[in-house]
Amino acid sequence: MTRTSRKTTCLRGIIVPMTFPSQLGRLLTLRTAPTLPLALASLLLVLAVAACGRGTDITLTIPPTEPPSATQTPLPDPTNTPQPSPPPTGDAPSPTKQSVVSLPDDEGAHLTPIEWWYFNGLLTDDTGGDYSFHYVTFQSVLPNGFTPRLLQLSWADHGKEVYLTDERPALPVLEATKGDFAFQVRDWSMSGDGTDYSMAFNTGEYSAELQAVSTKPATLHQGKGLVDLGRAGESYYYSRTRLVTTGTLTIGEEQRQVTGIAWMDHQWGDFSTAPVGWDWMSLQLDDGSDLMISMVWDSADHQPINSYGTYVPPNGPARNVGGEDISLTATGSWTSAVTGTTFPVGWNLEVESLNLSLTLTPALLDSEFQGSKYVPPAYWEGAVHVNGTQNGQTVTGNGFAELVGYDTREFEFPNLGESNK
């Protein structure tokens, strides 16, 4: 488990402060800081520093900078994108829309500066215990072929009110994939092909091996899988909103069987490093419908930049939800005793076009992911319980909330051009 610390360590005689300004992936590319290449170089440096701290003598062999391999699937061109071939999993877009995401090919890795594969889920074991998790692989592609990768995990035991975080860094050479992905860092792994997904991880006394099966076609956000992030740029983005999940949970020496529902996001692109934050939520209602909303705002003054959402009914095609249709109001707040960061917690959500009115209640108030050794700004990532009405009928469900940009502490990149002997 990670906890915040500020220290210096060695790398071939260089003293390097181990503090960094932004969260990799979702958090790195859209927050503060200099340029993305510097952020990536910083992560490379930190991975080497981590080995040095363990007393390991390592050598980084940097391959010459060359254009990416021609075998990698290129990003679709938003201005001239052919219709994808209909995949067997029903992932073809509506005939009235032209997608810029081509599935199942785009399930794999891309040659973009930033990409992530993200899962969250709520689980119940065979004794009635309730848990939630988020599990994500962040990946950045450097021109020289290195692919700094960071896996992060949060695990919550709702009954014990325990919230644990952990992470695993890696520095593999680029491996282009098409139609699937598979990552493994020591005893953690994540893989999927658009229908079947597997996850394995452990933290503290908990370890889990999970299998998840997608029960709905992929949801291409904003209709074609390309979302507007305002001055931060554009991002390719789709979700698999309902994955039936089973597996084995080990607590200490005791094994339990778990079942539940998970959510998967895949996002990639060449974003700017504009300082933005967001309130993002994925909701799975008990009537079989799913809802994603994202409220993107400027972290300097908290002024809104863009808001959007997608509603996925139990059956039938997904529907775009415009920002003008969304009202999200915080009903409370929570302040971290560790970082001093104050997050909104508890919300009233209204979506006028869906005649939907929901109350979102956090499963655990303390759901702060903090103390990363590699990208330290804290964020809030936790399960929520859902109650409300739609078209006058009672609805219930569960989901997840992610709050990024609220940690206003200052962090420093290591200055790669200077060293202190």
CA distance readout (Å), 308 to 76, 230, 284, 353, 389: 22, 12, 17, 13, 21
Strand partners, 16: 9
pLDDT over 60 (residue 25): no
Kindly state the DSSP code that residue 85 receives in the 8-state scheme. Answer: P
Tens-digit pLDDT profile for residues 113-126: 889 999 999 999 99
pLDDT category of residue 412 using cuts at 50, 70 and 90: low
Per the CB < 8 A criterion, the answer to whether 118 and 136 are in contact is: yes
**Kind and range of the H or E element at 84?**
none
pLDDT at 376: 85
pLDDT, the chain, mean: 79
Averaged pLDDT for residues 126-138: 97
pLDDT at 174: 66
pLDDT at 73: 34
Per the CB < 8 A criterion, the answer to whether 218 and 86 are in contact is: no
pLDDT at 143: 75
Q: Is 98 helix (H, G, I), strand (E, B) or coil?
A: coil
pLDDT category of residue 142 using cuts at 50, 70 and 90: confident
Q: Which residues make Cβ contacts (< 8 Å) with residue 44, sequence separation at least 6?
A: 60, 142, 146, 148, 171
User: What string of DSSP letters covers 112-158?
Assistant: SSEEEEEEEEEEEETTS-EEEEEEEEEE---TTSB--EEEEEEEEET
Tokens of 18: 């181990």
Tokens of 306: 């863009």
Averaged pLDDT for residues 23-52: 38
Q: Is 95 helix (H, G, I), strand (E, B) or coil?
A: coil
> How many Cβ atoms from other residues are within 10 Å of residue 328's Cβ?
18
Kindly state the DSSP code that residue 173 receives in the 8-state scheme. Answer: B
Among residues 109, 115, 75, the alpha carbon closest in space to that of 268 is found at 115
pLDDT at 305: 87
Q: Is 231 helix (H, G, I), strand (E, B) or coil?
A: helix
Instruction: Please tell me the pTM assigned to this model.
Output: 0.80
CA distance readout (Å), 374 to 44, 214, 321, 370, 403: 10, 32, 35, 11, 19
Q: What are φ and ψ of residue 48, in 5° steps?
A: -70, -40
Tens-digit pLDDT profile for residues 82-94: 333 333 344 544 3
Tens-digit pLDDT profile for residues 149-186: 999 999 999 999 999 999 999 988 767 788 999 999 99
Tell me the domain boundaries of the chain.
8-60+102-404
pLDDT over 50 (residue 59): no
Averaged pLDDT for residues 298-310: 88
Per the CB < 8 A criterion, the answer to whether 32 and 21 are in contact is: yes
Tokens of 46: 């930190």
The domain 8-60+102-404 belongs to what CATH superfamily?
Answer: AttH-like domain (2.40.370.10)
When comparing pLDDT for 339 and 141, which is higher?
Answer: 339
pLDDT over 80 (residue 145): no
The span from the CA of 357 to the CA of 391, in Å, is 9
Tens-digit pLDDT profile for residues 220-266: 999 999 988 777 788 999 999 999 999 999 999 999 999 999 999 99
Q: Which residues make Cβ contacts (< 8 Å) with residue 288, sequence separation at least 6?
A: 242, 313, 314, 315
pLDDT at 276: 81
Q: Which residues make Cβ contacts (< 8 Å) with residue 26, sequence separation at least 6?
A: 116, 118, 136, 138, 267, 402, 404
Per the CB < 8 A criterion, the answer to whether 416 and 45 are in contact is: yes
pLDDT at 272: 65
What is the separation of C-alpha 343 from the centre of its chain, rounded to a whole number of angstroms? 18
